[in-house]
Amino acid sequence: MTHFLTFDAISEAKPGPKWTARWNRSWPAYEPWFVTNGGDLGPDRAACVAALKRYMPELVSVHDTLVKLAGGSDRAARFLSTWCPPNYLGGCSLACAVSHDDIRLVRNYDLSPDLNEGLLLRSEWTGRAVMGMVEFLWGVSDGINDAGLSVVLAYGGRQEVGRGFGITTILRYVLETCDTVEQALKVLQRVPSHMPYNVIVADASGAAANVEIYAGGGAKVQPRLVATNHQSNGSTPDNGHFTKTFQRSDHLNEVLSDTKVPSALVEQFTRGPLKQDRYREGFGTLFTAEYEPLHARMTLHWDNDVWHQTLAEFQEGQRTVTYDSTIATSTQQGIDWVQIGLDYAAGKAPDWRSFTTVWKDVA
C-alpha cells in the first residue's frame, strides 16, 4: 500500500491569512475528533483562558488572535488552548550528539501519514523568530528559535492523563520565551502536561538535556541524551512491543556511544531499526528532523529528498512524499497487528495486557 503526505513550508510573521487558510483546511477534520473524544466535556472557555494566563501568559494574546481568525467560537477557543485536551498518541525516536564544536538534535516522527499536518511554519508571533513542525495548528512537535534553542518530543508510552496542556503548546511556549536549556527546563518543570512525554532540548552553547514529562505536572532530567516511547520511573509502556521502544532505545544508546562526529548522527535515523515503515499499521516514519543550534537551522530528511531551512533565509515551498508500507502478517499468533496499529494511531487503547503471553513468544 502506498501513502502520500504533502509538506508545506510557510512563513508568516503574525497570524494572518496563511494561518487562517490552514485552519479552514484542518478544522473540518479536527472538530469531529475533538467532539467524538470528549472535548466538549472538558474545561469551559473561561477555565482554558485562565489556565493560559496562569501558566503561559505570554501566549494569551496569540491565542486571542488565533481564536478570532478561527471564527471566535467557544469550541475553537477551547481546542486551541489545548488545556486538558482529548488523548492523542505518537511514536518517535530522539537523540542529541555533542562535540567541542558542534551539536545535533535529531528525531524521527513516527505515526500514520493521515495524522500529521505536514506544516513547517516560520513565525514571529511574540517578536522572536521560531520555526518548527506544527501540530494542533499552533503547537510544535519539534522546532528551533533565533537563539538556537531546539526542542523535540516523543510520546511517553502511557495513556495516563492529568490536568495539563497539550505538549505541543508547551513546546511552542518554550521556543517563544526561552534562550537556553536552563530556561527551558524551568518551563518544563513548571507548566503541566496532560500526558507523559519525553523531550530533548539543546542550545547554541552546546548544552543539552533529556527530560521525562509526567501527566499532570512534573519533569525529571535523564542521564542519557536519547529517548523513545517509555520512561524510567518504573512504569510499563502500554504498547511497547508494537512500537519496539526498548529495541530502539538500546540501539540509540549504542549509536550515541559510537558517534564521535555529531553530523553523522542523522544517518542512523534514516534506516532501521529507527526508521519505521509500517504506514498501513499507523506507525511509520514520516520525516527525520535534524536541528543545528549553532546555526539556527534545520533539515528535513526523507528517503529520496532533503529540505534545508534556516531562520535567516527561510524558503516557502512544498514537497510531496510517498511512503511504501511493509505489511506485517496481520494475524500472527492470533493478533490483528494492523488493527492494533490503527487503534494506536487513533489514540484508542487496546487491551495490551491480554497479549503479554504472546509477546513473550514472539519478542
Residue 135 has pLDDT above 90, yes or no: yes
**Residue 75 bridge partners (DSSP):** none
Residue 92 Ramachandran class (φ > 0 left, ψ -120 to 50 alpha, else beta):
left
Q: Between β-strands 2-11 and 119-123, what pairing exists: parallel, antiparallel or unpaired? A: parallel
Which one is predicted more confidently, 352 or 163? Answer: 163
The whole-number pLDDT of residue 241 equals 87
Average pLDDT over residues 56-85: 98
Write out the three cell numbers for 188.
Answer: 518544563
The pLDDT tens digits of the residues spanning 302-356 come to 998 999 999 999 999 999 999 986 543 333 334 443 444 445 444 444 333 333 3
Rounded Cα gap, residues 114 and 94, in angstroms: 22
The pLDDT tens digits of the residues spanning 89-107 come to 778 999 999 999 999 999 9
User: Nearest 5°: phi and psi at 201?
Assistant: -120, 145
Residue 139 has pLDDT above 70, yes or no: yes
Average pLDDT over residues 216-236: 94
Closest Cα to residue 133, out of 116, 115, 148?
116
The whole-number pLDDT of residue 23 equals 98
Residue 278 has pLDDT above 80, yes or no: yes
Residue 292 has pLDDT above 80, yes or no: yes
The pLDDT tens digits of the residues spanning 178-215 come to 999 999 999 999 999 999 999 999 999 999 999 999 99
**What share of the chain has pLDDT > 70, as a percent?**
89
pLDDT range class, residue 357, cuts 50, 70, 90: very low
The whole-number pLDDT of residue 89 equals 73
- Looking up cell 511552542, which residue turns up? 172
The whole-number pLDDT of residue 325 equals 67
Residue 359 has pLDDT above 70, yes or no: no
Pair 288, 108: CB distance under 8 Å = yes
Which one is predicted more confidently, 66 or 327? Answer: 66
Query: Average pLDDT, whole number, for the chain?
Result: 89
**What share of the chain has pLDDT > 90, as a percent?**
80
The whole-number pLDDT of residue 242 equals 87
Average pLDDT over residues 231-253: 91
Pair 333, 144: CB distance under 8 Å = no
Residue 218 has pLDDT above 60, yes or no: yes
pLDDT range class, residue 88, cuts 50, 70, 90: confident
Write out the three cell numbers for 267.
Answer: 544517518
The whole-number pLDDT of residue 46 equals 98
pLDDT range class, residue 252, cuts 50, 70, 90: very high
99-137 CB burial, b ≥16 within 10 A, e <16: eeeebbbbbbbbbbbebbbbbbbbbebbebbbbbbbbbb
